[in-house]
A and B are shown apart, each in its own frame.
Chain A
């Protein structure tokens, strides 16, 4: 019996078009996507196979988690609402507000401290004259030294650029939770302070406020 002629594959011809005879193209059914993926998985070496399996497990878990969350009656929001809740040292609340006029009256008096809760570069560009820089970070609790240095103050006013900025509210809340008295956040923030004629150094916040 004559041995079967080996199949030849033409370059640039898709693999599902198999050529037995140079004059005659034989079309076979292209395998469906899941089978192609399975074949690919089998041909992979150990490292790639494990990597593919890890990705598959991660994707499946993420999909299942979000689908389950979407269909459950008490759907859980994907982003934690403001203010964030946590219990260390106790549940976080935004601090009390202080209006601009009261802050302007308190400015320069003994025992009053202004705290700038913005990031370093914003503070460098401009800030309330004499303000102390304590940038707020959700992931970084205030140090004991910082808290101890603030305990002697009578009135602490925390500010950031605008009223709706979260940093000043959260920092004021955290200071109050840590047992510091007389803490409040400045309504309308640094922008409002400059408009109301308060003293400041550097540029006005309009120049760099996003």
Chain B
């Protein structure tokens, strides 16, 4: 009974609108930061994708061009709180794909850098911690999907201001 009560309190804390909005903004910022280097150096990012040996090489460059922009746009929309649920699904989907890619690389023993935040090929090598961090972000996305109903979003902010200006 006590456990249920504690879980209820935990849920109450996590689902606090301000806290969940901060979670959402943090995830959005992470995606934006992750995309910057990749947008700037698509060739290096293409090499990073090729290292995973997951895609046929003819599809690699197209993925290296599109993926960073998708990260940047979904990240920006999450920070602004626009179309939260749709963007959370995209972000969770991307994180799921990254988790699969990292898992298979670890399982096959590929000694490569993950390319999560940098395209530098001599950056820190991928390890089990890379996968754990990815899964943490995945759960983070799940929390946003479950609890964020957008009280601190751009749409809400604009509509509140409009109401205030209209009221006498």
Chain A residues in the interface with B (C-beta under 8 A):
50, 53-54, 57-58, 60-62, 64-66, 68-69, 76-80, 84-89, 138-141
Contacts and interface: CB of A to CB of B under 8 A. Distances in A.
Interface residues of B, number: 36
Given A57-B83, A69-B42, A84 B89 contact: no
A140 B43 CA distance: 22
A76 B108 contact: no
A60 B69 CA distance: 9
A176 B138 CA distance: 40
A109 to B, nearest CB: 34
Nearest to A87: B121
A54 B50 contact: no
Interface stretch (B22-30, B59-67, B151-159): B59-67
A78 B65 contact: yes
Contacts of B65: 65-66, 69, 76, 78
B58 interface: yes
A65 B108 contact: no
A53 B69 contact: no
Contacts of B58: 79-80
A187 to B, nearest CB: 23
B103 interface: no
A149 B70 CA distance: 44
Contacts of A57: 70, 73-74, 77, 83, 86-87, 90
A58 B50 contact: no
B21 interface: no
B69 A65 contact: yes
